[in-house]
Amino acid sequence: MAFKRMELEDWFDNYQFEVDYDIGESGVKFFTIKDLGVDLSDVQLRYGHHKGNPELRELIASGFSGLKASHVAVTSGASESIFAIMASLLGPSDNVLVEVPTYPSLYHIPQSLERDVSLYFLKYEDEFKLDIDRLAKEIRPNTKLICLTHPNNPTGSVITKTELEEVVKLVESKGIYLLMDETYRDLTFDEPLPLAATLSPKVISVSSMSKAFGVPGIRIGWVAADEWIIDSVRAVREQVTICNPAPSEKIAMSILQRKDEFLKGIKANVIDNFKLMNEWIQKRDDIEWIPPKGGVVGFPRLVKDEAADDLCRLLVERYRTFVVPGYCLKMPRHFRLGYGGHREEIINGLERLDKALRELYSTQK
């Protein structure tokens, strides 16, 4: 077992804290404890429940029709959920089929565990839509798990309820599992789909407080699945983190107790920012994108068929503006933009992106 650095996180580590404007972030604007109005003075700093605080698990389950708290485990972000699921579910000869582009942990973790990994690429030419027939053809005799992310990071693509049900039928017919990353479910532009894990014992859902709720620093995520999988996740956690920080669980409970109210302003800001960014891109002749249908990120590409590396490096080094180059997500012609943050930061960031694009192409003439 050998773990390599993710190119995405390496880029973040090198540049995100060195810029003036961040328009590559994959979450909404960040909150402070003061913003949240949470009093942590009475929180006991003791070990907690290994599956997560029971009240927090009840709160998570109550947000989804058909989900019981016994089918929920709280983890240290969605990343730990993914690690624990793969470490407990996959045997040495098992294959994982991962939809890309996506957050790289979904293929890096099984690779690090020395499992067989194959990739299913969403295509720009198909508007990043899931082609279930093509997905089915990628399933191998030793495939144990399919990993999908919708709304997708970084493309913002979504699937319909009918498509989700078809994928569920597919995994059930093959006797395999579906891992559905639903981190952006609450930020779907239309009505969100049912939680995938409530549709079949063969489906596992993961999510977190990081992207839609603006509190990635508390490192709270969760997995929803059949009870034996929840017990397996707990067994892995007991060898790694054991439990979640009590202050983090208190903050998460405070937010989920007022979830609808909390998300109302966030959604309004996201939709307004999306309209701003979409109008800006549609007027250009040097970049293009498939407009996202959910989440807070999009994945534009250069009209000219070349990698976006030079543009992204020029942006961070000369214009102190952060975006994510597509090579970090296995599509080098693209780069990731985020529209979940402060409107003024997005406006300023786009102004600098315009300058960088003009400079890049003026030097190529």
Each residue's pLDDT tens digit, 65-102: 999 999 999 999 999 999 999 999 999 999 999 999 99
The model's confidence at residue 267, banded by pLDDT at 50, 70 and 90, is very high
The model's confidence at residue 1, banded by pLDDT at 50, 70 and 90, is confident
Q: What would the mean pLDDT of 153-157 be, rounded to a whole number?
A: 98
Give the CA-trace dihedral at 234, 239, 240, 241, to 10 degrees.
60
Residue 221 to residue 252: CA distance in whole angstroms: 10
**Enclosing H/E stretch for 227:** helix 227-237
From the list 155, 126, 183, the residue with the least C-alpha distance to 299 is 155
19 vs 23, 296, 316, 321, 352, CA distance in Å? Answer: 10, 20, 7, 5, 12
Q: Where are the domains of the chain?
A: 7-26+262-360, 43-257
pLDDT value at 364 more than 70: no
Residue 357 to residue 164: CA distance in whole angstroms: 38
Residue 157 to residue 181: CA distance in whole angstroms: 13
Look over the chain and give the mean of its residue pLDDT values, rounded to a whole number: 97
- Reported for 39-48, long-range contacts at CB under 8 A and 24+ positions apart, including other chains, are 40/247, 40/250, 40/251, 43/246, 43/247, 43/250, 44/246, 45/246, 45/247, 46/246, 47/242, 47/243, 48/243, 48/244, 48/245, 48/246, 48/249
| CA angle (22 as vertex; 17, 23 as ends), nearest 5 | 155
The model's confidence at residue 365, banded by pLDDT at 50, 70 and 90, is low
Q: What would the mean pLDDT of 290-298 be, rounded to a whole number?
A: 98
Token couple for 228: 């034996």
Residue 223 to residue 337: CA distance in whole angstroms: 27
Q: What would the mean pLDDT of 249-270 be, rounded to a whole number?
A: 98
Please provide the size of the chain in residues.
365
Q: What is the DSSP string of 115-150?
A: -EEEEEE--GGGTT---HHHHHHT--TTEEEEEEES
pLDDT value at 168 more than 60: yes
Q: Has this prediction a pTM greater than 0.85? A: yes
Instruction: Tell me the torsion sign for CA atoms 292, 296, 198, 231.
Output: positive
| CA angle (210 as vertex; 82, 277 as ends), nearest 5 | 115
Token couple for 143: 């495939």
From the list 289, 142, 285, 147, the residue with the least C-alpha distance to 205 is 147
Give the CA-trace dihedral at 120, 223, 325, 30, to 10 degrees.
160
pLDDT at position 2, please?
85
Percent of the chain whose pLDDT exceeds 70: 99
Identify whether 110 is preceded by a cis peptide bond (ω within 30 of 0): no
Task: Tell me which of 3.50.50.60, 3.40.640.10, 3.90.230.10, 3.90.1150.10 is the CATH number of domain 7-26+262-360.
Answer: 3.90.1150.10
| Residue 209 and residue 320 in contact, taking contact as beta carbons nearer than 8 Å | no
Residue 54 to residue 92: CA distance in whole angstroms: 34
Topology agreement, domain 7-26+262-360 and domain 43-257:
no
Give me the helix-helix angle, 246-256 and 54-62, nearest 10°. 30
Identify whether 245 is preceded by a cis peptide bond (ω within 30 of 0): no
From the list 325, 298, 295, 313, the residue with the least C-alpha distance to 360 is 313
Percent of the chain whose pLDDT exceeds 90: 98
- How many whole angstroms from its chain centre is CA 31? 18
The model's confidence at residue 361, banded by pLDDT at 50, 70 and 90, is confident
Residue 104 to residue 122: CA distance in whole angstroms: 15
In the CATH scheme, what is the code of domain 43-257?
3.40.640.10
pLDDT value at 25 more than 70: yes
Judged by average pLDDT, the poorest of 169-173, 288-292, 320-324, 359-363 is: 359-363
What single letter denotes the amino acid at residue 198? T
Identify the DSSP state of 192.
Answer: P
